Structure 1
Amino acid sequence: MSLEISHLSFAYGRRTRLVLDDVSFSVKEGDLLAVLGPNGVGKSTMFRCILGFLRNYRGNIRLNGLDIKTLDHKEIAKHVAYIPQSTHPVFNYTVLDVVLMGLTNQVRLLGTPNRSHIDEAYAAMENLGIAHLRDAGYGEISGGERQLALVARALVQKAKILIMDEPTANLDYGNQFRVMCRISDLARDGYIIILSTHNPDHAFLYANRTLMIYGGRVIADGTPEDVLDAGLIKDVYGVDVHIEDYQYGSRRHKLCIPIDGGVGKHE
């Protein structure tokens, strides 16, 4: 499984500025790519292009070597799943019902899930540690549990590429940790994970690749340890930070620490 983006450019109108400007990168099985950048730099637009929702872009997006413009939405959904930010639902479906919604590319229109589908959904929930919530109302569980239910829905879809738009937004510290650990486990199992985040520490702790987008362009691409430095964070976010090496037992990684709060120190 592979995904390759080459010279991707996109604007919402002929006379408007480019939201994406010559973006290129590729991912392979087992990659967890953290996409960073301020609000409004094109991260969500890039995701919508990859998912086939936006087609009038320049450049190429290839899924297993195939141009996605030649694939319909059902074909794309066989390989790519989208996990949005957790939101409070209008209808209080059970968690199992929400997970089963990932079968839309497998069940006929007006069809119903069979026993094997239900077993697959339950197995995905069990893999993510939320099987005990099977009959709970989706609107009555925590934000972290709702996010894991959306991940389970993507697993039932059987797509091997998971695109996540700020999966830890609005989650408390504990739920952020639990969700990111589960996501990291999926990458180790061979899934391709592409997620956007505003937290450099998520990249240091969980990702093996980082893509920094600024002004619609890729300004850094590589391992978090190689490309995320204090100068880049200051240039992009306008915050003074110190990148600290941290070791606890056998585990070693970097941390991003604001200097005196980080605000007002840049020129």
Structure 2
Amino acid sequence: MSLEVSSLYFSYAKNSRLILDDVSFSVGEGDLLAVLGPNGVGKSTMFRCILGFLPHYQGNIHLNGRNIRTMDHREIAKYIAYIPQSTYPVFNYTVLDVVLMGLTNRVNLLASPNQNHIDEAYAAMKSLGIAHLRDAGYGEISGGERQLALIARALVQKAKILIMDEPTANLDYGNQFRVMCRISDLAREGYSIILSTHNPDHAFLYANRTLMIYGGRVIADGTPEEVLDASLIKDVYGVDVHIEDYQYGSRRHKLCIPIDGGVGK
């Protein structure tokens, strides 16, 4: 499964400023692409274009070589699943019910899930370590568990491309680690994952590709080790950092460390 975005331009009104300005990138099977950039640079807008929610863009978006302009929302949902930030629900559905909502592109609107569907949902929950929460209220579990439930919902959708909008936002340190480990596992299983994050260390620790967006444009695209350096972080976020090589046992990676609090002078 491949996704290719070519020369993507978007603005919310005619003659208004461009939110996306000539954005191009691609992802393939097993890629985990970390999209970085400060607030308001167009990351969520780009996701909505890819999902077909904002069709009035210029440029091209192709799924396995097919232009998504020729596909309706239900068909796009066969290939791409969206995992939003975990939020507190209005209705306290069970976790199983939330996961079963991933069937909307596969089951008739008025139909009820059958036992096979329930088994699929349970298997997805089990693969993410939340099977024991099957009958728990979605509003009564932790933020990290809610995020894993949303990922399980995406797995039930059977889409092989997962788009995640800041999946660790508002999570404590432990839940951030658990969620990112599960996401990394999915990439190793062959899912193509695009996630936005504000933490460069997420890119260093988990991603094989990094896309830095600033001012609506792609200013860096490559492996985290190649493109994420102290100069880029300073230019984009306005903080001074040191990129440190770190090794523990056989594992080696880089870390982003603020200098003197990180505030540029």
Q: TM-score, normalised by structure 2?
A: 1.00
Cross-structure match for 1:255: 255
CA offset at residue 131 of structure 1? 0.1
Cross-structure match for 2:229: 229
In 1: Cα distance, 2:264 partner to 2:43 partner: 26
CA offset at residue 109 of structure 1? 1.5
Q: TM-score, normalised by structure 1?
A: 0.99
In 2: Cα distance, 1:109 partner to 1:253 partner: 47
1:108 alignment partner AA: N
Cross-structure match for 2:220: 220
- Runs of 4+ with >3 A deviation: none
Deviation string, structure 1 residues 47-97 (Cα, Å, up to 9, x no partner): 000000011100000001000010000000000000000000000000000
2:37 alignment partner AA: G
CA offset at residue 15 of structure 1? 1.6
Cross-structure match for 2:202: 202
Note if 1:97 corresponds to 2:97. yes
The 3-state SS of whatever aligns with 1:256 is: strand
In 2: Cα distance, 1:117 partner to 1:264 partner: 53
In 2: Cα distance, 1:109 partner to 1:134 partner: 23
Note if 1:47 corresponds to 2:69. no
CA offset at residue 24 of structure 1? 0.4
The 3-state SS of whatever aligns with 2:5 is: strand
The 3-state SS of whatever aligns with 1:104 is: helix
The 3-state SS of whatever aligns with 1:259 is: strand
The 3-state SS of whatever aligns with 2:246 is: strand
- Alignment gaps of 5+ in structure 1: none
The 3-state SS of whatever aligns with 2:260 is: coil
Deviation string, structure 1 residues 22-43 (Cα, Å, up to 9, x no partner): 0000000000000000000000
The 3-state SS of whatever aligns with 1:262 is: strand
In 2: Cα distance, 1:75 partner to 1:110 partner: 18
In 1: Cα distance, 2:262 partner to 2:87 partner: 31
CA offset at residue 200 of structure 1? 0.1
In 2: Cα distance, 1:261 partner to 1:57 partner: 40
The 3-state SS of whatever aligns with 2:169 is: coil
Cross-structure match for 2:175: 175
2:181 alignment partner AA: C
Alignment of 1:1-267 (within 5 A): 1-265=1-265
CA offset at residue 264 of structure 1? 3.5
In 2: Cα distance, 1:233 partner to 1:263 partner: 12
In 2: Cα distance, 1:192 partner to 1:264 partner: 36
2:31 alignment partner AA: D
2:218 alignment partner AA: V
Deviation string, structure 1 residues 164-193 (Cα, Å, up to 9, x no partner): 000000000000000000000000000000
In 1: Cα distance, 2:109 partner to 2:10 partner: 33
1:103 alignment partner AA: L
In 2: Cα distance, 1:221 partner to 1:36 partner: 10
Query: Please, what is the CA RMSD of the aligned residues?
Result: 0.4
The 3-state SS of whatever aligns with 1:103 is: helix
In 1: Cα distance, 2:24 partner to 2:204 partner: 22
In 2: Cα distance, 1:16 partner to 1:180 partner: 37
CA offset at residue 263 of structure 1? 1.0
CA offset at residue 13 of structure 1? 0.4
The 3-state SS of whatever aligns with 1:129 is: coil
In 1: Cα distance, 2:9 partner to 2:70 partner: 18
1:13 alignment partner AA: A
Paired-residue identity, %:
87
2:172 alignment partner AA: D
- Alignment gaps of 5+ in structure 2: none
